[in-house]
Amino acid sequence: MIEYIPFIAVVAMVFIGLYAVMFRRNLIKIVIGITIIESGVNLFLITLGYREGGVAPIYTGLPPGTTYPEQMVLPVPQALTLTSIVIGVAVLALMLSLVMHIYRKYGTLDVRKIRRLKE
Amino acid sequence: MTLEEILIQHSPALVIAIPLLSAFLMPLISRINAKLRNVFAIAMLGLTGCFIWLLATDVLTSGPRVYIFGAKNLTIPVVRILFEVDSIGIFMAIITIMLAIIAVIYSWSFMNEQDGLDKYYTLLLLLVTSALGMEFTGDIFNFFVFLEISCIASCALIAFWVTEGEALEAAFKYIVVSAIGALFVLFAIGVLYAQYDALNIATLAQALQYTFLDKIVLILLLVVLGMKAGLAPMHMWLPDAYGRAPPSVTLIIISATLASFYGVLRVIFTLYGNVLTTSMRFDFPLHVIIGWVLIVLAIVSILIGVIMALIQSDFMRLIGYTAVAEVGYMFLAIGTTVAALGAPYATVALQGGILHLLNDAIDIGLLFLVAGAIYYVTKKRSLDDIGGLARTMKYTTVFFIVALLAVAGMPPLNGFTSKFLIYESVYQLNPILSIVAILCSILLLAIFIKVLYAAFLGPELPALKDVKEAPKSMLLAMGLFAGLAILIGLFPNLFIDTLVKPAADALLNHAQYITMVIGGI
C-alpha cells in the first residue's frame, strides 16, 4: 500500500489543479492551478524513476560495496523531469507577465469582468 | 562522399539548427540595422528552405532517412535522440517553410511601424523551429519539448499587440489551454515510458500491447493534439488567437496548428498502427471506433465553424471560424480513412486529407493576408466600418476573390481538388456526411460573398476616401499564395503524384517505418 501513496498524490494534485483552473475566477489562482498540475506530473515522473537499492550513475561517486552497472539507475525520468521543470518556469513567467498586462489594462483579475471575446 | 551527400546526410539537423541559431542571433543583428535584420530573417529561412528541398528530393527518391544525434555505437540500452524524416514529415516541412517565408515577406511592410521587431523575429523563427522539430522528430519526448516551444512562442506572438486587451485575453486563453494540454502529453509519455522503457516512437509502436493504460494514453494524446489542431469542441482558443494575433503571425500559428494535426496522424497511424485492428467491445475493431469519433467531431467542427462565421462582423474572427471548419474537413478525411481502414476509398480519403492540409494553409493564409492588408490601410477590423474598397485596392480585391473561391471549393482553384477527393471517399462511407460537407462548403461561399459585398463592393465611404493600395511586399506575399492556389487548382496531379501519394503511403505503411528506424539504430 505504502508504495502507491505517491501515485495517489499525483492524481490528487492533478485534480486539484484542474479544479482551480476550471472553477476559480481569479487569474492568479488559475496560474497556481496550472503549476499544481505541473508538480503533479513531475512527481509522477520521479516516482516512475525510483528503483529500490539503485544508485546514481556516477562512477566516481559510487558507495562502497555496490555492483555496477547492475545497480545503477538509468536516469531518463530524472532528465525528463529537469526538462519539464525548466519549461514549466518559462510558461509560468510568461503567464504571470500576461496576467500583469491584463491587470494593467482592465484593473481587475476577475475572469468574468475581462471577457470581451465571447462569441 | 561528395559535398551534396554530406549536406543531405546532415540536413535533418541543419533544418532545425539554422532557424534556432538565427533566432538567437536576431537581437544582435537587429542592433546593427533594421534592413539587415529583415534580410537576415528571409535569408536564413531561405537557406532552411534549400535544405528542406535537398532533403525532399532525397527522401522522395530513395526512401526515409534516420539521423542519430551522438555516438553511433553504444552498448547500453538504447537511449538516444534521433530524427526521422519520411514523406509525410517532409511534406509538412515544405508547408511550414512556405508559410514562414511568405509571413516574413509580408512582415516587411506590415510590421514596419512597430516596436520590438527584434523580439518579433526571434519568436517567429523559434516558432518555425518548433513546428519543424515536431515534424522531424522520431522521439516522443522531443515531440513534447517542441510542442512546449511552439506553445510559448506562439503565445508571446499572439500577445504582440500588447496594448490591446483582447490580444492579451486571447493569449492567456491560449497558454492556459496549451500548457495544460502539454502537461497531459507529458503524463501520457510517462505512462508509455513506465510500461515499455522507451521513448522512441518506432520502438514504442513495436512494443505496444494495447493494455488499459495504453487506452488512456491514446485518449490523452488524441484529445490534446486534437485541441491544439483546433478540433471542436476544444476549438475555443482558435478564433480568438487567429483573430487577435497580427496576420503575419497567424500564418506561422497555422503551421504550428498543422504540426499538431501531423501529431494526430503520427499517433493514430504509426504509434497505434499495430493495434488499430484489435477488436474492442461488441466486436468493433479499434479503428472503427476512433474513426467514427473523429468523424462526428469533424462534422461538429464544420457546422460550428460555418454557423459561427455566419454571424461574425469582425473580419479576422470570421476567418478564424472558417479555419475551424477547414480543420473539420481534414479530420473528416482522416476519420474516414481510419474507419474504413483497408478499403480502397480509405487511401483516397487520406490523400484528400493530406492535400487539404496544403490547401488549408494556402487558402486560410491568403484570407488572413487580405484581412491584414485591409487592417493595414484602414485600421478597422469590423466589416460594418469598411466598404467600396475595390475602387482603390484593385489587386487585393482580386486576391480576395481567388481566396474566396478556393476556400469554398470552387472548381478552377485548389480547394476544389482536395474537397472533391474528400466528398468522393466520404460518400462511399456514408452519403449523409458527404451531403453535410458539401452544404457547409456552399455556406462558406455565401459567407464570403457577403464579405465581398460588405468590404469591397458598394458605395465609397467618405471616411475611406484616401485609402491607398497595400504596399508592394504585402502584395507580393498575397500574390505568391494566389499563384500557388491557381497552380494547384490547374495541375493537381503534379502535387498529388509527387508529394501527396508518397505521404499517404508513408502513413499507411507503418511496418516499414518501424523496421527502418529500428534497423537504423
Q: For B119-172, write each residue's pLDDT tens digit.
A: 999 999 999 999 999 999 988 999 999 999 999 999 999 999 888 888 999 999
Nearest CA in chain B to A103: B165
Q: What residues of chain A lie within 8 A of the CB of B318, using their CB?
A: none
Could you give the maximum distance between any two Cα atoms of chain B, in Å?
Answer: 77
Task: Identify whether A91 is part of a domain.
Answer: yes
DSSP secondary structure, B279-319, as one string: B-GGG-BHHHHHHHHHHHHHHHHHHHHHHHHHT--BHHHHH
Grid coordinates standing for B517? Answer: 528506424
pLDDT in tens, A40-58: 999 999 998 888 878 887 7
Mean pLDDT value across residues B51-78: 79
> Terminal CA-to-CA distance of chain B, rounded, Å?
21
CA distances to A117, B85, B143, B243, B513 from B137, in Å: 36, 8, 6, 30, 13
> Has residue B110 got a pLDDT over 70?
yes
- Interface touch A30/B176, C-beta < 8 Å: yes
Q: Round to whole Å and give the CA distance between B29 and B40.
A: 8
Q: What is the dihedral of CA B260, B261, B267, B270, to 10 degrees?
A: -120
| Residue B275 in this model has a pLDDT that exceeds 80 | yes
Q: Does B238 touch chain A (CB under 8 A)?
A: no
Question: In this structure, is residue A80 part of a structural domain?
Answer: yes
Contact residues on chain B for A72, CB-CB shorter than 8 A: none
Q: Lowest-pLDDT range, A107-116, B361-370, B497-506? A: A107-116
Contacts of B411 (CB under 8 A, 6+ apart): B489
C-alpha–C-alpha distance, residues B381 and B317, integer Å = 9
Q: Which three cell numbers stand for residue B521?
A: 539504430
**In this predicted structure, what is the pLDDT of residue B72?**
65
B310 touches chain A (CB under 8 A): no
For residue B71, name the pLDDT band (cuts at 50, 70, 90).
Answer: low
Q: What is the pLDDT of residues B410-419, one digit of tens each?
A: 888 888 989 9
- Asked if the Cβ–Cβ distance from A21 to B172 is below 8 Å, we say no
Inspect the interface and report whether the beta carbons of B176 and A95 lie closer than 8 Å.
yes
Smallest CA-to-CA distance from B84 within B521, B385, B511, B421 is with B521
Per-residue pLDDT of A3-40, as tens digits, reads 889 999 999 999 999 999 999 889 999 999 999 999 99
CA distance to partner chain A, nearest, from residue B216 (Å): 14
pTM score: 0.94
Domain boundaries, chain B: 280-490
Residue A1, domain member (yes or no): no
CA end-to-end span of chain A, whole Å? 49
Helix (H, G, I), strand (E, B) or coil at A71: coil
What does the pLDDT look like over B15-48, one tens digit per residue? Answer: 999 999 999 999 999 898 888 999 999 999 999 9
User: Of A21, A44, A119, which has the smallest distance from its Cβ to B180's Cβ?
Assistant: A21
Which DSSP helix (H) or strand (E) runs through B67? strand B65-68
In a domain? residue A112: yes
- Check if A94 contacts B (Cβ < 8 Å): yes
Q: Residue B123 in contact with residue B153, Cβ under 8 Å?
A: yes
C-alpha–C-alpha distance, residues A35 and A80, integer Å? 17
Torsion-angle region of residue B398: left (phi > 0), alpha (psi -120 to 50) or beta?
A: alpha
* Cell of residue B252, nine digits: 506561422
For residue A21, list chain B residues with Cβ-Cβ distance below 8 A.
176, 180
**Distance between CA atoms of residues B132 and A86, nearest Å:** 21
Residue B211 CA from chain centroid, whole number? 32
Q: Does the beta carbon of A36 lie under 8 angstroms from any beta carbon of chain B?
A: no
What DSSP assignment string belongs to B99-144?
A: HHHHHHHHHHHHTTT-S-HHHHHHHHHHHHHHHHHHHHB-BHHHHH
pLDDT value of residue B73:
64
pLDDT band at A117 (very low <50, low <70, confident <90, very high): low
pLDDT digits (tens, 9 = 90+) for B165-204: 889 999 999 999 999 999 999 999 999 998 988 888 888 8
Tell me the residue type at A40: G
Q: Is B452 on the interface with A (CB under 8 A)?
A: no
pLDDT digits (tens, 9 = 90+) for B291-349: 999 999 999 999 999 999 999 889 999 999 999 999 999 999 999 999 988 888 899 99
Beta bridge partners of B85: B65
Domain holding A33, by residue range, is: 26-51+73-119
Is residue B189 less than 8 Å (CB to CB) from chain A?
yes
B190 contacts A48? CB cut-off 8 A: yes
Chain A: nearest CA to B4, how far in angstroms? Answer: 35
Alpha-carbon distance of B361 to B365, in angstroms, equals 6
Asked if the C-beta of A85 comes within 8 angstroms of chain B's C-beta atoms, the answer is no
B161 close to A (CB below 8 A): no
Domain count, chain A: 1
Q: How far is CA B146 from CA A83, B36, B364, in A?
A: 12, 28, 24
Residues B432-486 pLDDT 10s: 999 999 999 999 999 999 999 888 888 888 877 778 888 889 999 999 999 999 9
Reduce the DSSP state of residue A110 to 3 states and report it.
strand
Map grid coordinates 496576420 to a residue.
B247
C-alpha of B489 from chain center: 20
Residues 6+ apart with CB under 8 A from B217: B188, B191, B192
What letter represents residue A70's amino acid?
Answer: E
Query: Cα(B16)–Cα(B517) distance, rounded to whole angstroms?
Result: 20
